[in-house]
Chains A and B, each alone.
Chain A
Amino acid sequence: MIQTLPELIAAHPLFAGLPGDVAELVAGCARTVAFGPGRLIFSEGERAETLYLLRRGRVALEVRRPGKAPLMVETLSAGALLGWSWLLPPYRWHLDARALGTVLAVAIDADCLRAKADKDPEFGYRLLQRMSAVIVDRLQATRFRLLDLYGAVAP
Chain B
Amino acid sequence: MRLDPPFLASARVLAAGELDTLFAALAARGYETLAPGVRDGVIRLVPASGAAELPAGMHDRQAPGSYALEDGGDGELFGYAVGPDSLKGQLLPPHQSVLRATPDEGGLRIEPAPTEAARVAVVGARPCEVAATTVLERVLIGGAYPDPGAAARRKALFVVALECRRPATTCRCTSFGTGPGLEHGADLVMIELDPPPKRGGDPGAHRFLVRAQSPAGAEVLAALPTSEATRRDADRRRDALGAATRAIAASSNPEVVARGLLGHIEAPGWEEIASRCLSCGNCTMVCPTCFCTEVRDRSDLSGTLERERRWSSCFEVGHSLLTSGPVRRSVAARYRQWATHKLATWQTQFGTTGCVGCGRCVTWCPVGIDLGAEAAALAGTGAASRRGTT
Contacts and interface: CB of A to CB of B under 8 A. Distances in A.
- 4 closest A-B pairs by CB: A154-B324, A153-B324, A153-B323, A154-B325
Contacts of A154: 324-325
Interface string B315-339: 0000000011100000000000000
A90 B33 CA distance: 89
Contacts, number: 5
For the residues of A in contact with B, the DSSP-based class is loop
Interface in A140-155: 153-154
A153 B321 CA distance: 12
Interface of B: 323-325
Nearest to B323: A153
Nearest to A151: B324
Contacts of B324: 153-154
Q: Sort chain A's interface into a size bin.
A: under 10
A153 B322 CA distance: 10
B232 to A, nearest CB: 70
A154 B323 CA distance: 8
5 contacts: A153-B323, A153-B324, A153-B325, A154-B324, A154-B325
Nearest to B324: A154
A50 B323 CA distance: 46
Interface in A101-155: 153-154
Contacts of B325: 153-154
A93 to B, nearest CB: 37
A153 B324 CA distance: 5
B318 to A, nearest CB: 15
B15 to A, nearest CB: 68
B316 to A, nearest CB: 20
Contacts of B323: 153
Interface in A23-45: none
A154 B326 CA distance: 11
A51 B233 CA distance: 96
A153 to B, nearest CB: 6
A154 B329 CA distance: 14
B324 to A, nearest CB: 4
B91 to A, nearest CB: 38
Nearest to A149: B324
A99 B167 CA distance: 81
A37 B21 CA distance: 97
B139 to A, nearest CB: 32
Nearest to A152: B323
A151 to B, nearest CB: 9
A155 B170 CA distance: 43
Contacts of A153: 323-325
A147 to B, nearest CB: 11
Nearest to B322: A154
A68 B44 CA distance: 71
B97 to A, nearest CB: 33
A152 to B, nearest CB: 9
